[in-house]
Structure 1
Amino acid sequence: MNGEPNSTSAREFDVVVFGATGFVGELTARYLAEHAPRGTKVALAGRSETKLAATRKRLPARAHDWPLIVADSSSPSSLDAMVARTRVVCTTVGPYLRYGEALVVAAASAGTDYVDLTGEAPFVHYSINKAHETAQATGARIVHSCGFDSVPSDLGVYLLYKKIADDNAGELTDTTFVVKSFKGGISGGTFDSVRVMAEESRNAETRRLVLNPHSLSGEPGNTPRPAIKSEPSDMSMISAKKVDPSMSGTLAPFFMAASNTRIVRRTNALLDNAYGEDFHYAETMSVGRIPGVSTVTAGAVAVGTGVFLGAMSFGPTRKLLDRLLPKPGEGPSEKAREKGSFVTETYTTTPSGRRYRSTMRMSGDPGYKATAVMLGESALSLALERDRLSPLTGVLTPAAAMGEVLTRRLQDAGATLEAVELT
């Protein structure tokens, strides 16, 4: 899955933030205004010049001369014009199944690198089929899932892979991601993606795609069709001691496992299955160490998740939930965003029995502030450090496209990312 990068050094901008008037779009633009190296050329894009100007006015003074670009996801010609002007397009305009398809194709055709926040596996599947070969030909890197979905998951496994390789310790086998703590909210954009996914899942082919654990692991037009049981269930309750003997209690299913696990497996496929022949991957969340209590809690989480997803796919209950859930473009106050944080740990064992753990820790609300940092640094990785990136092009994942570069940039931004051997 290699390709020769196409030079975009003559482009007018390094990064265009598309969707800058949305809540997370503005947070990302603010992050770039505060943290992008001096000389980085940034523009703001969206449907309304008036709203873009208002957004720019709220940003730090450094952004007040950033150009504004009017572009609309329903106007392919405006997207073509936008991506032709920049090295990287950074988009927060979702749900991506509804609004993202034309932009992916435009970026791939123009040889423009692309980052987004999608947690919609069917959208990534569409992107693989429609844009992967084009992007390879033009040298574009189309990198999906560059926020809380799925950077901690993807880099968590990648760090284990690099550490085990450095130790000459073999390969990864059963690998489990654990959300140890999560303080913050889930964005309105994420809930809107769930709404669209629920609607799309009424289609039998989409349901098969969503249930396929390796739906993103293949080449265009060649989706693997393994048995569903070939990988751990996304709704599993797992004994913590089976993950690692240092742990106790029962681990609950993690809400975003159905998307994150597919991204991690695609990374492994892009790296020619470098994680190992017996690599299997699950995602969970910690709900306490006390065995009986955590088992009951994990069961409640599993049931609650199933009920919620079922309710989102049923019209009358979805309308009720729509009144209660955050809307796209809405989000918590700055004070609440600052109080947020998350810690994730990923565990694996090598064939010889050596145990490893990676950790990622960030301050800031995971779905908002931390996501803006991850998305912003992903865009800067592609725009400013292209010569240090993997030679892979096409439809990629955060770890496959920019694993070591993004890890270092996030560390420099204050995140903890590390992998250690356990004894």
Structure 2
Amino acid sequence: MSQNDRDHHIVLLGATGFVGRFTARHLAQSAPAGARIAIAGRSSTRLQEVNRDLGVDWPTIQVDTADTDAVARLAASTSVVATTVGPYLRYGTEVASACARAGTSYADLSGESIFVARSIERNHDVAESSGAKIVHSCGFDSIPSDLGLGLAHETAGGVPIVAATLRVRSLRGGISGGTIDSLRQQMKEVKTDASIRRLVGDPYALTPGPSVRLPGRRGSGWGKERNVWQAPFVMGAYNQQIVQRSNYLTGWSYGQLMRYREVIATGRGFAGFARACAISGGTAALVAGLALPPTRAVLDRVLPAPGAGPSSDAIERGRFVLDVDAYPVEGQPVRTRVAAPFDPGYGGTGVMLGESALSLAFDHLPERGGVLTPMVAMGQSLAERLRAQGFTLNVDALH
């Protein structure tokens, strides 16, 4: 059966969850006329509520991700599956594999190194053969990082890059229970297996690794640069793995010796120093707390539960501005400004996942299957779509 003969263009799995509802709303507003969209989840009653809230009459599919036969039927019924059902290590493995086997493209919001590494091992060759584009990390993790550097690299002429840094200039938004639960599950795995602990901290965890490795430490980003204090960005280690996979999938076009890091700019003087200390200390405390059962039990009482999120007012006030500075081996350094008037974890992520699904379903993309990245799978097509939704993705010379 060709993809044109399938029942649906897009199935949104997890449409009843917190981020899933944002994604469904965006698809209802932005999908082209004639798009065949269905929503899927465990509760048919809640799926019908989504339809009523959005004023649509999409087909609903009741499915449990633990039911492999049902997941296989779901994958075979559509051209694209977009899923918000995490933690993906627990709920996403069979969905991604079923899509790879069925030749169905797939997009998720994973920021889980372990899950993506296992997906590559299990699905990449199968998806290459079937033509499926299996694209992880189609939300705030890791589209700004991946597209930001990829667009900068293209503008710089496609030459190798010596160094690149993503700086968070401003970031306003809440944190979801699903994000916390993904981090919680990954920390449990890390605690029980030293090899997994090494994988999470390895920039090349999602690639075979370059033939030449940089000597010494790569640097965390903590400290002062150009008289501005900065702290490591909490998702920088994972985003670096996605960026390096794009590098690998394009034949190490960014350069095998490229240094990439992500930081939060906290300002000048003592106030900037204090903010950098607070961010670094808070991040370390959260990660350490989730790794230990006694402190994890305490944190579970105060952190948002899976499916929960911040207030609508907090989401409405959300927005972000990021700069990705790239220094090529020759020519002018360039900067990609990535910004949007959306909460990064909810409204913004709903737009990014929704537009990724629409791109995979309707755009003329390179005929390449496998476990890909947003930049390699969709690149400029996705960038244009996001610009049309109010995102800034501008690349300029850096002076």
Q: Aligned ranges for residues 6-405 of structure 1 at < 5 Å?
A: 7-59=2-54, 61=55, 63=56, 65-165=57-157, 170-202=159-191, 203-218=193-208, 232-233=218-219, 235-241=220-226, 248-288=227-267, 290-352=268-330, 354-385=332-363, 387=364, 389-405=365-381
Question: Matches of 2:224 and 2:366 in 1, distance apart?
Answer: 37
For the 8 Å contact 1:173–1:279, the answer to whether it is kept is yes
Q: Shift of residue 7 of structure 1?
A: 4.7
Structure 1 SS opposite 2:139? coil
For the 8 Å contact 1:392–1:400, the answer to whether it is kept is no
Q: 1:319 to 1:227 in 2, by over 3 A?
A: farther
Q: 1:67 to 1:230 in 2, by over 3 A?
A: farther
Question: Matches of 1:226 and 1:236 in 2, distance apart?
Answer: 23
State percent identity of aligned pairs: 43
For the 8 Å contact 2:15–2:21, the answer to whether it is kept is yes
Larger displacement relative to structure 2 (290-299 or 19-28): 290-299
For the 8 Å contact 2:211–2:256, the answer to whether it is kept is no
Q: 1:126 to 1:230 in 2, by over 3 A?
A: farther
Where does the alignment leave 5 or more consecutive residues of structure 1 unmatched?
1-5, 242-247
Structure 1 SS opposite 2:161? coil
Residue correspondences, number: 398
| AA matched with 2:349 | T
Question: Matches of 1:139 and 1:207 in 2, distance apart?
Answer: 32
Structure 2 SS opposite 1:39? coil
Q: Shift of residue 69 of structure 1?
A: 0.6
The RMSD of aligned alpha carbons is 1.8
Question: Matches of 2:224 and 2:382 in 1, distance apart?
Answer: 32
Question: Matches of 1:227 and 1:348 in 2, distance apart?
Answer: 20
Question: Matches of 1:205 and 1:300 in 2, distance apart?
Answer: 30
For the 8 Å contact 1:231–1:280, the answer to whether it is kept is no
For the 8 Å contact 1:362–1:370, the answer to whether it is kept is yes
Q: 1:143 to 1:231 in 2, by over 3 A?
A: farther
In structure 1, the partner of 2:385 is 409
- Say whether residues 1:418 and 2:394 are aligned partners: yes
Q: 1:284 to 1:253 in 2, by over 3 A?
A: same
The one-character-per-residue Cα deviations of 1:241-287 (angstroms, maximum 9, x if unpaired) are 3xxxxxx3121100111211100110110111111243211011111
Q: Shift of residue 291 of structure 1?
A: 4.0
Question: Matches of 2:292 and 2:182 in 1, distance apart?
Answer: 15
The one-character-per-residue Cα deviations of 1:298-331 (angstroms, maximum 9, x if unpaired) are 2332222112111111111111111111111112
Q: Shift of residue 354 of structure 1?
A: 2.4
Larger displacement relative to structure 2 (127-136 or 354-363): 354-363
Q: TM-score, normalised by structure 1?
A: 0.90
| AA matched with 2:339 | R
The one-character-per-residue Cα deviations of 1:373-404 (angstroms, maximum 9, x if unpaired) are 0000000000011x2x1233100110010011
For the 8 Å contact 1:337–1:368, the answer to whether it is kept is yes
Question: Matches of 1:416 and 1:304 in 2, distance apart?
Answer: 30
Question: Matches of 2:116 and 2:2 in 1, distance apart?
Answer: 25
The one-character-per-residue Cα deviations of 1:179-198 (angstroms, maximum 9, x if unpaired) are 11001112111111010011
Question: Matches of 1:227 and 1:201 in 2, distance apart?
Answer: 24
Question: Matches of 2:22 and 2:149 in 1, distance apart?
Answer: 27
Structure 2 SS opposite 1:146? coil
Q: Shift of residue 44 of structure 1?
A: 0.6
| AA matched with 2:259 | H
For the 8 Å contact 2:175–2:310, the answer to whether it is kept is no
For the 8 Å contact 1:257–1:283, the answer to whether it is kept is yes
Structure 2 SS opposite 1:419? strand
For the 8 Å contact 1:212–1:225, the answer to whether it is kept is no
Structure 2 SS opposite 1:173? strand
| AA matched with 2:321 | V
Q: Shift of residue 229 of structure 1?
A: 6.0
| AA matched with 1:93 | V
Q: Shift of residue 352 of structure 1?
A: 3.5
